[in-house]
C-alpha cells in the first residue's frame, strides 16, 4: 500500500467523525468531564493564576493560533506559572527557566508522563518513545536510546555527516535552475534525511529526495506530526469515540494502516542493516549500537526497530533549524561577516574545513546554540503531564495536569539572555576571551531549552549539534548569503515573523536565498572533494 493513500490532513479526518449522530451523548460526557476536572480555587487548593475562561469551553480563545505568542504576552500579567482550562483539562504553562527547572527537571519523577494521544498510540503501536508514558517499555527504550546515542559514539558517524554536508553544499552552490534561490529547502530536506538514514541504518548514499526510503519516511513524519497536534481529532476530545467500530471511524482505519506500513518499513530497514553485518559489511549505525546492548536491556525486536525509526523524527527538526539559519544569515550581515572572518582565520581558502577545525571555531559553535535558541522549531515543546498532585510555591497543580513549557518565552527571556534576546547574536554565548562560555543553569550546557526537560530530554541532541555544525561550517566556508532585493537594495519577500505550522514543529514561510561563492575556486574544490569521497564505500 502506498503510504500516500492513507494520509489525509488530520482536520479533514476529524470532520468525518459522526458528530451529529452522537452530539447529545457527546455533550453530556463533555459536561461531565468538565465537572469532574473542576478544582475549586479555594484557599486550600489555590491554582496558578490565569485568564478567565468561557463557561464549559474554558480558555478556548487562548488556545488557538500561535499559542506561544499568546502565552508570552500573558506572561507579563500572570508570571512564571499560568493556569488555563482547556474544556475541562487542566493546563499549566511554564513561562520561565526557573519554572521548568523546578517542575520538569527537579520534579521529573512526577512530571514525566505524556498527555493521552489515542490516534498516535494506534499509529505507532504504543512504541514511539517520545509519546510513551513511563512504564516497562518506556524504561527499556529510554535506556537503549541513551546508550546508543551517547556523546562518545558521535565520532563514529562524523564521516557520514561530513559527506552529506559536503553533498548539500555542492548541490546548493551548483544548482543552475532559474528558480534556484527558492529551491534550497528541497536540498536541505534531502541532505538531512540522507544523513539520518545513513546514521541509523548505515545505508549508502541517498542522492535524491525522491528516493523511496526518503519519500516514505518523510510521509511518516508529516503524518505523525500532524496527528500529534492537540485537537486534530475529535476522539481526543471525546474519548468514547474510540469504542466505535472502524467502519464508521475513518481515523481508526488510517491509524491502523499507518502502523502496518511504518512497521513494515522500519523492520525492512532494520533487517537490511543486520543482513549487511552478517555479510561482513562494517558500517557504523545506530541499529548496530542498539542491538549490541538490546539483550542486556531486555528489548524485544519490535521495540528495537521502532526505536531506530523514532530517531528519524529528528530529521524534520534539523531541516527546520537550517532553514531558520539561512534567514538569520540574510537578516544579520554583521554576524555573517564575523562568521566568515573566523573561517578564513582558522581554515583559509586553500582547503576545505574539517570536523577537527570546528573545535577551533567558538563563534561557529556559538552559532549552533544561538539558532536553536532564537527560533525554536517546537516553540511550546512536547507537553508533560503530572502523575501526582504537586504543590509549588504555595500553588496547587492537580494530578493529570498538562504542563506546557513555553520554550519560546524561556529562550527569549531578557533576564537570562540579555536585553537583545529577541535578536540573533551568537556572541552572547562567548566569554570575554572569545571562547565558548558556560551556558545558563538549567539549560544542560546547551544555551537554550529547545531539547526538552528532565527524563524527556532529547537523546539525539549530541548528533543534532554535530550535524548542524558541519552543515553550517561547509556552507558558510563556500558561500555568502543574501535575499531578494528591490531596486533600492531593500530586502523583499522575507516574512520574518511568520511561520508554517506543520503540527508540533514550525518552519519559515518560504523565501528566496541566494548563495554566492565566496571565491573563484570554492565550487571546484567542493566538487573535487565530493568526487574523491564518492569513490569510497560509505
Residue by residue, DSSP assigns 143-162 as: HHHHHHT-GGGGGGGHHHHH
Between CA 283 and CA 305 the distance in angstroms is: 18
Q: Are 249 and 241 in contact (CB under 8 A)?
A: yes
Task: State how far the alpha carbon of 406 is from the alpha carbons of 63, 93, 96, 192, 293, in Å.
Answer: 13, 7, 8, 27, 36
pLDDT in tens, the chain (538 residues): 444 444 444 443 343 333 433 434 444 444 444 444 555 444 457 999 999 988 878 888 888 888 999 999 999 999 999 999 987 889 999 999 999 999 999 999 999 999 989 999 999 999 999 999 999 999 999 998 888 888 898 899 999 899 999 999 999 988 766 566 778 888 898 888 888 888 888 876 565 656 788 788 888 888 888 888 777 788 887 888 889 888 888 999 999 999 999 999 999 999 999 888 888 887 888 888 877 777 788 888 899 999 998 888 877 689 999 999 999 999 999 999 999 999 999 999 999 999 999 999 999 999 999 999 999 999 999 999 999 999 999 999 999 999 999 999 999 999 999 999 999 999 999 999 999 999 999 999 999 999 999 999 999 999 999 999 999 999 999 999 999 999 998 998 899 999 988 777 899 999 999 999 999 999 999 999 999 887 775 4
Q: What is the DSSP letter of 133?
A: P
pLDDT reported for residue 92 = 97
pLDDT reported for residue 20 = 35
Q: What is the DSSP letter of 361?
A: -
Within 8 A by CB and 6+ apart from 114, the residues are 130, 131, 132, 133, 382, 383, 384, 385
- Tell me the CATH architecture of domain 3-534: Orthogonal Bundle (1.10)
Query: What does the angle CA 245 – CA 249 – CA 252 come to, to the nearest 5 degrees?
Result: 90
Q: What is the DSSP letter of 410?
A: H
Query: Strand (E) positions, 74-199?
Result: 81-86, 89-94
pLDDT reported for residue 17 = 39
pLDDT reported for residue 332 = 97
Between CA 418 and CA 199 the distance in angstroms is: 37
Residues composing the chain: 538
Q: Which three cell numbers stand for residue 85?
A: 482550562
- In this structure, the dihedral spanned by the alpha carbons of residues 470, 475, 477 and 483, taken in order and rounded to 10 degrees, is -140
pLDDT reported for residue 296 = 81
CA-closest candidate to residue 117, choices 231, 247, 256, 257: 231
Q: Are 82 and 417 in contact (CB under 8 A)?
A: no
pLDDT reported for residue 537 = 57
Which residues, listed in sequence order, are joined to residue 91 by a DSSP beta bridge? 84, 402
Query: What does the angle CA 318 – CA 319 – CA 322 come to, to the nearest 5 degrees?
Result: 85
358 is in an annotated binding site: no
**Backbone CA torsion sign across 165, 167, 169, 172:** negative
Measured between its terminal Cα atoms, the distance across the chain in Å is 31
pLDDT reported for residue 400 = 95
If phi over 0 gives left and psi between -120 and 50 gives alpha, with beta otherwise, what is residue 298? Answer: left
Q: Are 522 and 532 in contact (CB under 8 A)?
A: no
pLDDT reported for residue 155 = 92
Between CA 471 and CA 318 the distance in angstroms is: 10
Amino acid at each position: 500500500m502506498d503510504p500516500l493513500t492513507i494520509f489525509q490532513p488530520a482536520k479533514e479526518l476529524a470532520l468525518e467523525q459522526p458528530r451529529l449522530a452522537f452530539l447529545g451523548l457527546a455533550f453530556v460526557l463533555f459536561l461531565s468531564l468538565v465537572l469532574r476536572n473542576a478544582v475549586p480555587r479555594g484557599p486550600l487548593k489555590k491554582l496558578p493564576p490565569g485568564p478567565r475562561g468561557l463557561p464549559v469551553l474554558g480558555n478556548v480563545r487562548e488556545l488557538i493560533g500561535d499559542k506561544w505568542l499568546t502565552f508570552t504576552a500573558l506572561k507579563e500579567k500572570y508570571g512564571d506559572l499560568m493556569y488555563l482550562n482547556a474544556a475541562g483539562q487542566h493546563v499549566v504553562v511554564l513561562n520561565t527557566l526557573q519554572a521548568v527547572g523546578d517542575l520538569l527537571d527537579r520534579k521529573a519523577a512526577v512530571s514525566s508522563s505524556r498527555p493521552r494521544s489515542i490516534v498516535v498510540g494506534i499509529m505507532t503501536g504504543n512504541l514511539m518513545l517520545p509519546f510513551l508514558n513511563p512504564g516497562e517499555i518506556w524504561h527499556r527504550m529510554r535506556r537503549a536510546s541513551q546508550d546508543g546515542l551517547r556523546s562518545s559514539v558521535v565520532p563514529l558517524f562524523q564521516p557520514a555527516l561530513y559527506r552529506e554536508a559536503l553533498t548539500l553544499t555542492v548541490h546548493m552552490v551548483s544548482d543552475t535552475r532559474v528558480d534556484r534561490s527558492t529551491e534550497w529547502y528541497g536540498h536541505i530536506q534531502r541532505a538531512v534525511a540522507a544523513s539520518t538514514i545513513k546514521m541509523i541504518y548505515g545505508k549508502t548514499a541517498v542522492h535524491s529526495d525522491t528516493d523511496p526510503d526518503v519519500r516514505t519516511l518523510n510521509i511518516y513524519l508529516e503524518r505523525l506530526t500532524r496527528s500529534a497536534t492537540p485537537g486534530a481529532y475529535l476522539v481526543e476530545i471525546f474519548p468514547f469515540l474510540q469504542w466505535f467500530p472502524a467502519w464508521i471511524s475513518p481515523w481508526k482505519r488510517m491509524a491502523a494502516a499507518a502502523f502496518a506500513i511504518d512497521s513494515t518499513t522500519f523492520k525492512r530497514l532494520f533487517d537490511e542493516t543486520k543482513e549487511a553485518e552478517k555479510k561482513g559489511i562494517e558500517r557504523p549505525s545506530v541499529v548496530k549500537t542498539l542491538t549490541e546492548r538490546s539483550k542486556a536491556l531486555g528489548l524485544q525486536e519490535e521495540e528495537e526497530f521502532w526505536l531506530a525509526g523514532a530517531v528519524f523524527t529528528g530529521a524534520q527538526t534539523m531541516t527546520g533549524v537550517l532553514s531558520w539559519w539561512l534567514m538569520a544569515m540574510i537578516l544579520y550581515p554583521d554576524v555573517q561577516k564575523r562568521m566568515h572572518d573566523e573561517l578564513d582565520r582558522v581554515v583559509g581558502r586553500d582547503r576545505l574545513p574539517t570536523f577537527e577545525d570546528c573545535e577551533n571555531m567558538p563563534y561557529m559553535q556559538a552559532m549552533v546554540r544561538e539558532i536553536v535558541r532564537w527560533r525554536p522549531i517546537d516553540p511550546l515543546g512536547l507537553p508533560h503531564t503530572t502523575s501526582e498532585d504537586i504543590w509549588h510555591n504555595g500553588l496547587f497543580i492537580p494530578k493529570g495536569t498538562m504542563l506546557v513549557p513555553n520554550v519560546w518565552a524561556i529562550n527569549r527571556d531578557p533576564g537570562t539572555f540579555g536585553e537583545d534576546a529577541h535578536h540573533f547574536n551568537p556572541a552572547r554565548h562567548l566569554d570575554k576571551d572569545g571562547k565558548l562560555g558556560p551556558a545558563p543553569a538549567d539549560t544542560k550546557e546547551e544555551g537554550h531549552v529547545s531539547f526538552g526537560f528532565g527524563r524527556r530530554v532529547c537523546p539525539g541532541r549530541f548528533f543534532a549539534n554535530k550535524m548542524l555544525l558541519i552543515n553550517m561550517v561547509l556552507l558558510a566556508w563556500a558561500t555568502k548569503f543574501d535575499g531578494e532585493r528591490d531596486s533600492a537594495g531593500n530586502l523583499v519577500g522575507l516574512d520574518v515573523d511568520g511561520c508554517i505550522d506543520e503540527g508540533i514543529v514550525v518552519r519559515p514561510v518560504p523565501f528566496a536565498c541566494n548563495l554566492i561563492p565566496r571565491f573563484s575556486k570554492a565550487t571546484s574544490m567542493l566538487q573535487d572533494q565530493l568526487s574523491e569521497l564518492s569513490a569510497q564505500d560509505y
